[in-house]
Amino acid sequence: MEINGVIVKELEKFDDMRGWLLEYYRQDEVKKENYAVMSYISLTKPGMARGPHEHKEQSDYFCFLGTSVFKIYLWDNRINSPTYRKKVTLTAEKDKPLVVIIPPHVVHAYKNAGKDAGLAINCPNRLFRGMGKNQAVDEIRYEDVRDCPFVLDD
């Protein structure tokens, strides 16, 4: 079950006596239109969610680091897409890092379904609020919309 244009990639974690190393972004493995222009990290507490929202122009490049279990919810909101209105739920398992690249107008959310606080990194292809943070945020937020059609089921 897929959504057109969404890329999901399992990552290899390299463990040794010092800890672990994880390559989560390599420009030679990403299409040019998805090259990162910034990066941020978030910690999500157990039971908490981020989203749902969508972007008009931005693609997100999320990496779930394997520090907890995350449910990732995707809804194709692109009228001309062959997978329009399709919903997909992915699971990023603890100790199983996962990259999910989400194109514009694919509504997305994620929830920490684990027992531990979880880390996620995003390397989007657009700057938040543009150069110098002087532009409107490229985001349609559904979190607080009454009767929102994009529901996170547990």
Split at pLDDT 50, 70, 90, the class of 1 is: low
The string of pLDDT tens digits covering residues 47-99 is 999 999 999 999 999 999 999 999 999 999 999 999 999 999 999 999 899 99
Any idea what the Cα angle at residue 146 is, between residues 124 and 114, rounded to 5°?
55
For the cut 70, the answer to whether the pLDDT of residue 22 exceeds it is yes
Longest dimension (CA), the chain: 50
pLDDT of residue 106: 99
Averaged pLDDT score across all residues of the chain:
95
pLDDT of residue 3: 98
Split at pLDDT 50, 70, 90, the class of 154 is: low
Phi, psi (5° rounding) for residue 10? -80, 140
Mean per-residue pLDDT, 131-148: 90
Mean per-residue pLDDT, 124-131: 92
pLDDT of residue 153: 83
User: How do the domains of the chain map onto residue ranges?
Assistant: 7-130
What's the predicted TM-score (pTM) here?
0.94
Q: How far is CA 17 from CA 11, 13, 44, 122, in A?
A: 20, 13, 28, 28
- Give the architecture-level CATH label for domain 7-130: Sandwich (2.60)
- Any idea which of 24-28, 66-70, 146-150 has the lowest mean pLDDT? 146-150
